[in-house]
């Protein structure tokens, strides 16, 4: 049995980035760039007015004949004489032989003549070609998280495709003769199977949509067969249940006989002690304890960072913050505890009913409180580690 | 011209929750419950063993004949005599006339006889029917955010559908003769249109997928026609560009002539001063300044809370945190500033290049720094308000 930190290290060492692939910029939110991007063009691509006003050639003249108009999107390089100006709008093309734009608030206009009442400096209000970014300059570094701003930036440079780390395909294997699919009638002795739906939504919450659910009875042969196929087709296999030491818990045996290397089994923690982590080729496997609250706690603490590594993230764990606990607490279990809690700006409260069999508390919690195995007495108002889940 | 806080109040007063609708639990992540949910069943639905061990009737006997096995999912109510026990596993049905389960670690078994070496209390290790939740008890309150835990909880109670607030359908209307769709060749004087893609991904980031993009030239008639159709079909209309005071900015006129009530126009801020907010019937309209960084800042500060209200959230703003600023700063503009910044655990840095025309900085920022108009001098290491964007 290992401690939480050892388990997290082993997971980090044995998880790796997914292969890279090209995707459309419009579909890239939340992906991680696998290659630096350089600009295919100057931006702005031409000399651009930064104001609504008049463009002219800076000289001693204060008065100009307005001979044409350049609206955003227009293009004309007709030569404009020294005593001429053009009406121009923000974002519009500034003809090559004009060097200055005066904002309209600093002019008076009569008929077709504009008089400048406050003369700007030469070159004022003209954005130069490539002023923001030049062709071949770095746009985004490797390993950048693609945000809406990054998508906008790429799009304005005309970039339509980028190279990112793929997201893993995840198999969810649910074991247990007692489990009935939600929506069906519940016979005596059975319960509804909820872990697959819960895990699928937790995966969806971190942007992983390629998931498939497999249901298998408590039977070694069936378990082996399903796992064999999952191990060869998926990047990550999450097994729910069948991993403690009851006579009918076949998952570990089925994994090992399929050539999965055991990297750890059992963590000194509650809930979720009988957690198994292993690997076959590039596929990683988590066998999660079947009690729903244990399953979900294990997901957030252990599966989440592995998936983040797969997707190319550098920050792989859920954030940890410190909050004052608002009750005294004694941890005499010798185990690291992950308690369902409610936190706000200042403090955190341990919720009642920490049963790992049910999700009542988890459904209203907004955090896990992380109490290490080696701290027995926690005073009221002492700062503790909190993992926000919202 | 109004201040930021006034604008936010007006938005909150004029945004309302979307109509309710029934959706599948499996598709409900991130929705808000519009009706409290009561349990359709007892959970556990039967008396359940909490351990792998032996079930028996508590008496003075210490030794029992093991007559059958109850695995999770099995069901039998065959009468078990006083001197008999059954082999039982975690989660399995406990027959009606047995009252106690002893964990296997506290027994020795020979042939078909189990001897209890450490006698548990009567009723030990048996989870009662309805112990976690009883039929008709409250499962989740109205206004609960549906998390993976909530989905698991609902599923384990056999609930397949819930009533939530719908998500808004959002129209994105992009104006500007200068704009060319990404992927096409860029003629002189034109630039690529990136705001629609950026806004679409920002909407996607908060779970809104029902979006449609409309592109319109700088022309009053076309703008009026497109807006008219959007106002009658969408819950929220986001217009990008065409809202400042240039001769070719037709958006405001087109909105008003379509019966949109102006709720505010122009905020004392930078970037994003010429922001328009209005309403027609239940459709709200934001006309966002067209410069990409202004558009996105306006989205995060003003559009985001309106959408959150639409979706039924009680917490509607992006979180605000405090960080020490690591340079002295003077805000002599008299305007509230939203600066692109990088924050970490302790401090925040103002990024170079705050131009509203480009997204270079925004693409690498992880926060907006919120500096109110009425604070001129900000000392190094003074705490400032930061809006994290990650």
Per residue in A81-122, pLDDT (tens digit) is 999 999 999 999 999 999 999 999 999 999 999 999 999 999
Q: What percent of chain B has pLDDT over 90?
A: 93
B263-311 residue pLDDT tens: 999 999 999 999 999 999 999 999 999 889 999 999 999 999 999 999 9
Range A201-223 average pLDDT: 95
- Residues A123, A80: one domain? yes
Q: Does A192 fall in a domain? A: yes
Q: Which residue does chain B place closest to A355, by CA atoms?
A: B132
Chain B segment 163-192 residues within 8 A of A by beta carbon are 176-179, 182-183, 186-192
Range B305-320 average pLDDT: 97
CATH of the domain at A373: 2.40.340.10
Q: Which residues does B232 contact at the CB level (< 8 Å), separation at least 6?
A: B283
Q: Does B84 fall in a domain? A: yes
Q: Which residues does A328 contact at the CB level (< 8 Å), separation at least 6?
A: A377, A378, A379, A380
User: Which domain does A89 fall in, by range?
Assistant: 48-127
Q: How far is A214 from chain B (nearest CA, A)?
A: 16
- Residues B29, B9: one domain? no
Q: Tokens 């049905």: give the residue.
A: B93
Q: Does B376 fall in a domain? A: yes
Q: Which residue does chain B place closest to A95, by CA atoms?
A: B189
- Residues B235, B273: one domain? yes
> Quick check: B55 and B78 in contact, CB under 8 A?
no
- Residues B142, B103: one domain? no
Q: Does B94 fall in a domain? A: yes
Q: How far apart are CA B105 and CA B116, in angstroms?
A: 9
- Residues B281, B325: one domain? no
- Specify the pLDDT at position B247: 66
Q: Does A316 fall in a domain? A: no
- Chain A residues near residue B355 by CB distance under 8 angstroms: 132
CA distances from A194 to A169, B143, B156 (A): 20, 22, 5
SS3 B8: helix
Q: Does B290 fall in a domain? A: yes
- Specify the pLDDT at position A247: 66
pLDDT exceeds cutoff 80 at A389: yes
- Residues A222, A269: one domain? yes
DSSP H/E element including B383: strand B383-388
- Chain A residues near residue B152 by CB distance under 8 angstroms: 194-195, 197-198, 201, 292, 295-296, 359, 362-363
CA distances from B88 to A132, A159, A258, B52, B68 (A): 71, 62, 29, 6, 9
Q: How far apart are CA B388 and CA B368, in angstroms?
A: 7
- Specify the pLDDT at position A69: 95
Range B12-30 average pLDDT: 98
- Chain A residues near residue B248 by CB distance under 8 angstroms: 71-72, 89
Q: Which residue does chain A place closest to B362, by CA atoms?
A: A149
- Residues A225, A331: one domain? no
> Quick check: A101 and A53 in contact, CB under 8 A?
yes
Mutate to test the interface with B, among A178, A244, A346 (most CBs of B within 10 A): A178
B42 touches chain A (CB under 8 A): no
Range B100-108 average pLDDT: 97
> Quick check: B297 and B340 in contact, CB under 8 A?
no
Q: How far is A287 from chain B (nearest CA, A)?
A: 17
Q: How many Cβ atoms from other residues are within 10 Å of residue A76's Cβ?
A: 13
Q: How far apart are CA B227 and CA A222, in angstroms?
A: 59
CA distances from B185 to A38, A163, A332 (A): 18, 22, 69
- Specify the pLDDT at position B248: 72
- Specify the pLDDT at position A244: 78
Q: Does B315 fall in a domain? A: no
Where does a domain end: B310, B334, B353?
B310
Where does a domain end: B310, B341, B375?
B310
CB contact under 8 A, A73 and B205: no
Q: How many Cβ atoms from other residues are within 10 Å of residue B175's Cβ?
A: 31
The string of DSSP letters for B104-130 reads: GGGEEEETTEEEESSPPPTTTTEEPTT
Q: Which residues does B345 contact at the CB level (< 8 Å), separation at least 6?
A: none
B322-349 residue pLDDT tens: 999 999 999 999 999 999 999 999 999 9
Range B28-52 average pLDDT: 96
- Specify the pLDDT at position B259: 98
Q: What is the mean pLDDT of chain A?
A: 95
CATH of the domain at B159: 3.90.105.10
- Residues A159, A78: one domain? no
As for how many domains chain A has, the answer is 4
Chain A segment 82-141 residues within 8 A of B by beta carbon are 89-93, 127, 132-133, 139-140
pLDDT exceeds cutoff 90 at B357: no
- Residues B139, B260: one domain? no
Q: Does B151 fall in a domain? A: yes
- Residues B156, B229: one domain? no
Where does a domain end: A69, A98, A127?
A127
CB contact under 8 A, A191 and B45: yes
The string of DSSP letters for A49-118 reads: ESSSEEEE--SS--EEEEEEEE-TT--------TTEEEEE-TTPBPPTT--EEEEGGGEEEETTEEEESS
- Residues B194, B306: one domain? yes
Q: Tokens 């605000």: give the residue.
A: B320
- Residues B198, B327: one domain? no
């Amino acid at each position: 049995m290992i401690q939480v930190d050892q388990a997290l290290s082993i997971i980090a060492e044995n998880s790796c980035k997914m292969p890279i692939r090209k995707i459309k910029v419009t579909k890239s939110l939340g992906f991680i760039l696998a290659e630096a991007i350089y600009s295919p063009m100057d931006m702005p691509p031409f000399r651009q007015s930064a104001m609504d006003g008049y463009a002219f050639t800076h000289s001693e003249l204060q008065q100009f004949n307005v001979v044409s108009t350049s609206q955003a999107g227009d293009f004309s390089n007709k030569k404009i004489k020294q005593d001429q100006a053009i009406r121009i709008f923000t974002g519009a093309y500034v003809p090559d032989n004009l060097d200055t734009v005066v904002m309209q608030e600093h002019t008076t206009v009569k008929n077709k003549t504009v008089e400048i009442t406050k003369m700007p400096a030469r070159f004022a209000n003209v954005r130069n070609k490539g002023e923001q970014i030049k062709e071949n300059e770095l746009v985004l570094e490797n390993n950048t998280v693609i945000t809406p701003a990054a998508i906008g930036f790429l799009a304005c440079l005309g970039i339509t495709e980028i190279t990112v780390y793929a997201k893993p395909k995840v198999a969810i294997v649910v074991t247990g003769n007692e489990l009935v699919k939600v929506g069906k009638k519940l016979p005596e002795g059975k319960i509804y199977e909820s872990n697959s739906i819960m895990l699928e939504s937790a995966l969806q919450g971190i942007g992983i949509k390629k998931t498939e659910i497999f249901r298998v009875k408590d039977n070694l042969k069936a378990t082996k067969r399903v796992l064999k196929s999952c191990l060869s087709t998926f990047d990550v296999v999450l097994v729910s249940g069948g991993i403690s030491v009851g006579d009918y818990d076949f998952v570990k045996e089925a994994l090992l006989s399929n050539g999965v290397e055991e990297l750890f089994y059992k963590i000194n923690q509650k809930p979720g002690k009988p957690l198994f982590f292993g690997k076959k080729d590039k596929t990683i496997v988590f066998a999660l304890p079947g009690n729903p609250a244990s399953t979900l706690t294990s997901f957030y603490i252990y599966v989440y960072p592995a998936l983040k590594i797969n997707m190319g993230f550098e920050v792989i764990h859920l954030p940890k913050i410190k909050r004052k606990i608002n009750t005294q607490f004694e941890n005499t279990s010798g185990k690291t505890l992950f308690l369902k809690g409610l936190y706000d700006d200042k403090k955190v409260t341990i919720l009642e009913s920490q049963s790992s069999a049910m999700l009542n508390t988890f459904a209203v919690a907004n955090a896990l409180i992380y109490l290490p195995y080696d701290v027995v007495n926690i005073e009221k108002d002492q700062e503790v580690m909190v993992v926000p889940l919202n």
